[in-house]
């Protein structure tokens, strides 16, 4: 099986996600926040063309729930009035409907079996129940390691117990079904660009994205 890319240019974020979101798929977004700009620049070393990375956050689609909404599982920083969530959490995909904040979106379908889908979602829910934290410390450890193949292959320099940032969270749950997006990279050094450029066969549905930016 070969990987396939499907480009969408005219859909809204909402229409795109409602069309392609499915349980067990991986979501990627490129955000416009200040920290995301830094993450894009740091991922230049992963890309063959050495251009800024386009993806800054990764998550897992959980499926449509009884409320009629698609839900996702992710490790993220969520700061709202009088409410802080730093770690693994559940959210509706409405979080990513804003085109200004999230101008690029992708859904990656790895063709998981129903048993594999159950495994990755159950694993993610276990991390949610156990209150695993979002690790800014490990994120910086990865940003330091990315330019060095030697450091990237070694355990994250700043790793902590029961902590994962976004793309490391996605890699962690997919390792439970034997899918390693970047075999030469330590699990806790996995970046969003490693996921989009994986050699594992999949279909990538991409919204508002130049196909030349992801071909290696």
The predicted-structure confidence for 168-199, as pLDDT tens digits, reads as follows 999 999 999 999 999 999 999 999 999 999 99
Is 8:2 a contact under the CB 8 Å cutoff?
Answer: no
Residue-by-residue pLDDT tens, the chain, 216 positions = 789 999 999 899 999 999 999 999 999 999 888 788 888 988 988 988 888 889 999 999 999 999 999 999 999 987 655 567 789 999 999 999 999 999 999 999 999 999 999 999 999 999 999 999 998 899 989 988 988 889 999 999 899 999 999 999 999 999 999 999 999 999 999 999 999 999 999 999 999 754 444 444
Q: Read off the tokens for 142.
A: 């990865």
Is 89:128 a contact under the CB 8 Å cutoff?
Answer: yes
Q: Read off the tokens for 9.
A: 């240019």
Per residue in 43-68, pLDDT tens? 988 988 888 889 999 999 999 999 99
Backbone angles phi, psi at 167, to 5 degrees: -70, -30
Q: Which of 70, 73, 66 is nearest to 13 (CA)?
A: 70
- Name the CATH topology of 4-213: endopeptidase fold (from Nostoc punctiforme) (3.90.1720)
Q: Read off the tokens for 42.
A: 């740091």
Q: What is the CA radius of gyration of the chain?
A: 16
Is 93:57 a contact under the CB 8 Å cutoff?
Answer: no
Quick check: pTM over 0.85? yes
| DSSP code, position 52 | P
Burial per residue of 198-214, b for 16 or more beta-carbon CB atoms within 10 angstroms, e otherwise: bebebbbbbbbbeeeeb
């Amino acid at each position: 099986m070969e990987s396939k890319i499907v480009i969408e240019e005219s859909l809204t974020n909402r229409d795109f996600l409602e069309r392609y979101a499915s349980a067990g798929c991986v979501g990627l977004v490129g955000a416009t926040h200040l920290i995301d700009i830094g993450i894009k620049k740091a991922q230049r070393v992963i890309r063959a063309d050495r251009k800024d990375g386009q993806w800054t956050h990764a998550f897992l689609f959980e499926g449509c729930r009884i409320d009629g909404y698609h839900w996702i599982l992710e490790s993220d920083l969520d700061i709202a009035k009088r409410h802080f969530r730093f770690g693994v959490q559940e959210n509706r995909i409405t979080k990513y409907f804003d085109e200004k904040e999230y101008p690029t979106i992708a859904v990656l379908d790895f063709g998981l079996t129903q048993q594999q889908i159950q495994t990755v979602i159950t694993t993610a829910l276990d991390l949610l129940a156990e209150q695993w934290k979002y690790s800014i410390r490990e994120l910086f450890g990865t940003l330091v390691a990315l330019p060095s193949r030697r450091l990237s292959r070694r355990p994250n320099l700043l790793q902590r117990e029961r902590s994962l940032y976004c793309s490391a969270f996605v890699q962690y749950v997919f390792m439970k079904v034997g899918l390693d997006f970047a075999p030469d990279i330590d699990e806790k050094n996995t970046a969003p660009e490693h996921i989009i450029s994986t050699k594992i066969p999949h279909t990538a549905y991409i919204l508002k994205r130049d196909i030349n930016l992801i071909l290696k």
